Chain A
Amino acid sequence: MSSTLLHEDYPVEAEDYTRAGEASADIKRKLKQLGVSAGVLRRVSVASYEVELNLVIHSRGGVLSLEVTPERVLLVSADRGPGIPDLELAMREGWSTANETARSLGFGAGMGLPNMKRNADEFDIESQLGTGTTIRMGFLLS
């Protein structure tokens, strides 16, 4: 196992639109300080913002974690439910169950999960109804 350069856990509350995005802004700042290149930084930032907003909009709350090793940036989002009934459908561009509040703020295009997958070098999603959803995204450095 390679050494961990940075590990940070960000609790994200359901429907807290005021603070939504703060974790991602902090992640971006920290990675920039570590000297992560602009291209990787942008991909991590986009994926992180999408996954954080999904926690706010769709989940009952959860934790977004950042881990950096010399090889990769790892983002893990783990929430407390409600879980995703049909993962294949959720991954499809355009599919969204976002409510009116989220839509009025500019979310609900159904593009978040496909965006994450496109931006991450490694993408893994697991979901269990009632238990929660876990998304792991790896971004290779160098």
Chain B
Amino acid sequence: MTIADMIRVLRAKVLCGEDRLETMVYTACCSDLMSDVLAFVNEKTVLITGLTNPHVLRTADMLDLKCLVYARGKIPGEEILDQAREQGLVVITTRETAFTACGLLYEAGLRGVPIEWPESEARL
């Protein structure tokens, strides 16, 4: 789906990147743990998070993420949005909780990032 589709599904508000809402997103990840995000996310993934600190943006920058969703109506400071604009990141905020936001997106057809388990870790 496109970011514009996500905005509709989440009844979200765009905080920056209005000109790139037709960008496609293929997978999603919901986490407040940056190392988890760094472990398996790729640039086609949208990150849903409740953390509004600059490290989330730096993490997004390392992975070339295109879209960030803040849950529970969180809105970051203006300096963070400036940084997001510089990175070319679309930032949106939804009043839904992270859980509900994920549920709505899943229902609309978005899926998680496929994880490849190395042989040694395939214990489940």
Contact check, B58 vs A46: say whether CB atoms are below 8 A apart: no
Total interface residues in chain A, CB < 8 Å: 26
Given known contacts A109-B35, A109-B36, A111-B36, A46 and B56 CB-to-CB distance under 8 angstroms: no
Say whether B85 faces chain A, with CB atoms less than 8 Å apart: no
B82 to chain A minimum Cβ distance, whole angstroms, is 15
Contact check, B39 vs A20: say whether CB atoms are below 8 A apart: no
Interface residue tally on B, bucketed by range: 20 to 34
**A residues adjacent to B (C-beta < 8 A):** 17-18, 20-21, 24-25, 28, 38, 42, 45-46, 48-50, 53, 105-112, 114-115, 118
- CB pairs A–B below 8 angstroms (28 shown): A17-B55, A20-B58, A21-B54, A21-B58, A24-B62, A25-B58, A25-B61, A38-B64, A42-B43, A42-B63, A42-B64, A46-B63, A49-B38, A50-B35, A50-B38, A106-B32, A106-B51, A106-B56, A107-B34, A107-B55, A109-B35, A109-B36, A111-B35, A111-B38, A111-B39, A112-B35, A115-B38, A118-B39
